[in-house]
Amino acid sequence: MKISEAYDRVKAIDWEPSYISPEEKTVETTKFHIHETKPNDPFKTFVREYCEQEQEKDDRHYALLEASARLNTGEPDGRWMEGMKFGLSNLVGVEYAAARAMGRMARTVAPVELRQGYMMQMLDEMRHSNLEMNVIRHHMRSWKDPVGFDVAAKAGASSVGSSIFRSMVEDLITSDPVETSIGLQVFVETAYTNLFFVGLSSHASAHGDDMLASTLLTIQSDEARHMANGWSTLSSLLQDDRNIPLIQKAMDKWSWRIHCSFGLGNMLFGDYFVRKRTESAKEMTMRWVFDDFYGGFYQKLEKFGIKPPPHLDEMISDLDWMSHSAAIYIFGAWPTFFHRYDGLNDDDFEWFEKKYPGFYEHFGGFWEAYGQCKDPEEGRIVLKEMGGLPNFCQVCQRPTIFPRPDISKQRAFKVQDQTYIFCSDGCQEIFVEEPHHYVGFKNFYDLYEGKELSQVIQELGFVRDDGKTLMAQPELEPKRLWTLEDIRKANYIVERPAPPAFLK
């Protein structure tokens, strides 16, 4: 029997149970019209073949890790490794949420061809979160300061910086299940994962982190399939004209949503956690996301009546300042994190000024203040010196300092007699569509307003085993490590800033 024939036979085993209605079976419903479509099967793979392929990839990957651990090719770079404590803490949760999203989609989307693909992607995403946990475990055992890697999984749920990524995945796993495919498979995976898993893995390898480089590459080899799932889902939806306005709305939302979250993470990690520089994060994002995805994949949708995202120009101009604004936020809030920071040096200043003309004029002041607030003996923290943290956007959970603090598009806006704060038109529009989706998110002030900073750090659990030394440090190799006592001396009470003005 031909393989394709055997495959069709296997699919024919699918049946509708008689003891439960299709509505009850799917648990969640979708507003998209997809039940009657006949999609192209993106996978055409038997479960047995799939498992063999994945097994082979795992075998190759683990053999390489074993070899790299034994050869011990030298110490990886400190700036990179410490940054990855924060980076990896977010990634595991994103992968795990992707697995959950696939389970929901497999239950809701009727055509068996698509469900088959989702089920295999669900296994892939579990594989990814396991692989990334394995990197954390390895770094915990081999990196000279393992502290921070040990709390990574928990910190992904509680740190103030992680709320940007958490709000993204919470949105993904609670949206309409078919909309989730657009957000995850089209935007996160098709638009951004090349930048992330290929671009970032080249940084990992340049900084001696073979463990992560190999992990990211073996993960990316699964992503091609996830993009195929996204395309099959989207092309099925495009068969029915009633879907076009729904697709447009979902694409408008997720293009902005992923720009503010995954896109922001890529920019920050690519510019601020690296020392050996080849391409700026802006150049990389332009190439992988705006030329390849928006200029290629997305443009092909125009013939189906899909228009470009409404904030495309803003997304591109944001790239000039995004990484720098994100950096002053996480460097400014360093005591509430769980890794050592490496502030900018003269080489960094020169590189940034070359790649982002005007960098020093806008951000030099912060870095000078940062340099003066590193010594625990003086007990000055840059957070207090700069007037505390800004407000946070109710949708994307970014601080409202984008694209750049002095030209921030923050605003207050009233919905059903309640005032909310947003970073931009894009987030405000998303909120107004589905306020119930976002009203419940608790930000840093909802949790810690009125508390003294050392108390906040203790509650977060970002303290070393001695019960008094901070996990986070403002330098890679400080003369003395900061303690809770040093923070207490700075006497910083978390205070919610005044809301921004209402838009006229």
Which residues make up the interface to Zn ion (CB under 5 A)? Answer: 393, 395-396, 423, 427
- DSSP character at residue 194: I
Residue 247 interacts with, from Zn ion, Fe ion, none (CB under 5-8 Å by kind)? none
Q: How far is the CB of 183 from Fe ion (least distance, A)?
A: 12
* 226 part of the interface to Fe ion, by CB under 5 A: yes
Q: Is 93 left (phi over 0), alpha (psi -120 to 50) or beta?
A: alpha
Residue 252 interacts with, from Zn ion, Fe ion, none (CB under 5-8 Å by kind)? none
Rounded CA-CA distance 138/130 in Å is: 12
Residue 427 interacts with, from Fe ion, Zn ion, none (CB under 5-8 Å by kind)? Zn ion
| Close Cβ partners of 172 (under 8 Å, ≥ 6 residues apart) | 97, 98, 101, 180, 183, 184, 188
Pairing of strands 418-422, 411-415: antiparallel
What's the number of CA atoms in the CB half-sphere (13 Å) around residue 181? 30
Q: How far is the CB of 445 from Zn ion (least distance, A)?
A: 16
110 and 35 in contact (C-beta within 8 Å)? yes
Q: In the set 41, 77, 82, 95, which binds Fe ion (CB under 5 A)?
A: 95
* 132 part of the interface to Fe ion, by CB under 5 A: no
493 and 456 in contact (C-beta within 8 Å)? no
Closer to Fe ion by Cβ: residue 99 or 490: 99
247 and 234 in contact (C-beta within 8 Å)? yes
Rounded CA-CA distance 189/295 in Å is: 16
Residue 434 neighbours by CB distance under 10 Å = 15
Handedness of CA 263, 267, 270, 273 (dihedral sign): negative
337 and 325 in contact (C-beta within 8 Å)? no
386 and 395 in contact (C-beta within 8 Å)? no
Residue 393 interacts with, from Zn ion, Fe ion, none (CB under 5-8 Å by kind)? Zn ion
Residue 95 interacts with, from Fe ion, Zn ion, none (CB under 5-8 Å by kind)? Fe ion
Scanning 122-130, 173-181, 196-204, 421-429 for contacts with Fe ion by CB under 5 A, the matching segment is 122-130
Q: How far is the CB of 96 from Fe ion (least distance, A)?
A: 9
> Which residues ranging from 293 to 322 are in contact with Fe ion (CB under 5 A)?
none
Q: How far is the CB of 68 from Fe ion (least distance, A)?
A: 22
Q: How far is the CB of 89 from Zn ion (least distance, A)?
A: 21
Scanning 104-112, 117-125, 243-251, 400-408 for contacts with Fe ion by CB under 5 A, the matching segment is 117-125
Backbone angles phi, psi at 340, to 5 degrees: -90, 140
Closer to Fe ion by Cβ: residue 93 or 161: 93
> Which residues ranging from 328 to 347 are in contact with Fe ion (CB under 5 A)?
none
Q: How far is the CB of 195 from Fe ion (least distance, A)?
A: 14
Closest CA to 222 of 92, 131, 123, 124: 124
Cα–chain-centroid distance for residue 17?
39
# residues near Fe ion by CB under 5 A:
4
Q: How far is the CB of 410 from Zn ion (least distance, A)?
A: 9
85 and 152 in contact (C-beta within 8 Å)? yes
- Vertex 258 angle, CA 139 and 365, to 5°: 75
Quote the tokens at residue 266: 């890529």
Q: How far is the CB of 396 from Zn ion (least distance, A)?
A: 3
Closer to Zn ion by Cβ: residue 73 or 419: 419
Scanning 221-229, 349-357, 393-401, 405-413 for contacts with Fe ion by CB under 5 A, the matching segment is 221-229
Residue 423 interacts with, from Zn ion, Fe ion, none (CB under 5-8 Å by kind)? Zn ion
Closer to Zn ion by Cβ: residue 163 or 483: 163
Closer to Fe ion by Cβ: residue 162 or 483: 162
Closer to Fe ion by Cβ: residue 104 or 128: 128
Quote the tokens at residue 324: 């720098």
* 127 part of the interface to Fe ion, by CB under 5 A: no
Residue 128 interacts with, from Zn ion, Fe ion, none (CB under 5-8 Å by kind)? Fe ion
Q: In the set 61, 79, 128, 257, which binds Fe ion (CB under 5 A)?
A: 128
Q: Is 405 left (phi over 0), alpha (psi -120 to 50) or beta?
A: alpha
Q: How far is the CB of 189 from Fe ion (least distance, A)?
A: 5
Which residues are at the interface with Fe ion (CB under 5 A)? 95, 125, 128, 226
